[in-house]
Amino acid sequence: MTTEAAPARLDRTPAGVRLCALTDIAERGARGFVLQIGEARFHGFVVRRGPEVVGYVDRCPHMGFPLVQVLDAYQTPDGRLLQCAWHGALFEPEDGRCVGGPCLGASLTPWPVRTVDGAVVTA
């Protein structure tokens, strides 16, 4: 029996990759992205607050797991914070700082994104 190794996971992307239209992310929502780059993959997510976007690598600093178990469910029910579905860590959406849970004081890894002509692109 042969087993294939999982693709390597990247922690950054090239600049200028168009991810989606800004309007594809709810006004106070978040959306995950998986990008195939060569033989490797990048997992990240973008949080939108009005016209502003901020991106993070989709990896909790506590144990390295992706934050979500359900597609795009990055936020607490009230939408104020980001939450790791595995161990309950809570993060500020604006700067990724952990404000509750097992990695208190740690931060999500930033993923540079911006809006250009109504689209969300990597920076």
What pLDDT, on the 0 to 100 scale, is given for residue 5? 73
104 vs 92: CA distance, rounded Å: 11
What pLDDT, on the 0 to 100 scale, is given for residue 7? 79
What pLDDT, on the 0 to 100 scale, is given for residue 1? 57
For residues 78 and 95, is the Cβ–Cβ distance under 8 A? no
What are the phi and psi torsion angles at 61 (to 5°)? -70, -15
In the chain the first and final C-alpha atoms are separated, in Å, by 42
Q: How many CA atoms lie within 13 A of 90 on its CB side?
A: 9
What pLDDT, on the 0 to 100 scale, is given for residue 8? 87
Which pairs with CB-CB distance under 8 Å and at least 24 residues apart come from 97-103? 98/61, 101/62, 102/62, 103/60, 103/61, 103/62
Domains of the chain are 9-122 (2.102.10.10)
Instruction: Please give the chain's pLDDT, 123 residues, in tens.
Output: 556 677 788 989 999 999 999 999 999 999 999 999 999 999 999 999 999 999 999 999 999 999 999 999 999 999 999 999 999 999 999 999 999 999 999 999 999 999 999 999 999
Adjacency order of strands within the sheet including 119-122: 18-21, 119-122, 113-116
Map residue 41 onto helix, strand or coil.
strand
The tokens for 113 are: 């994104």
The tokens for 9 are: 């996971």
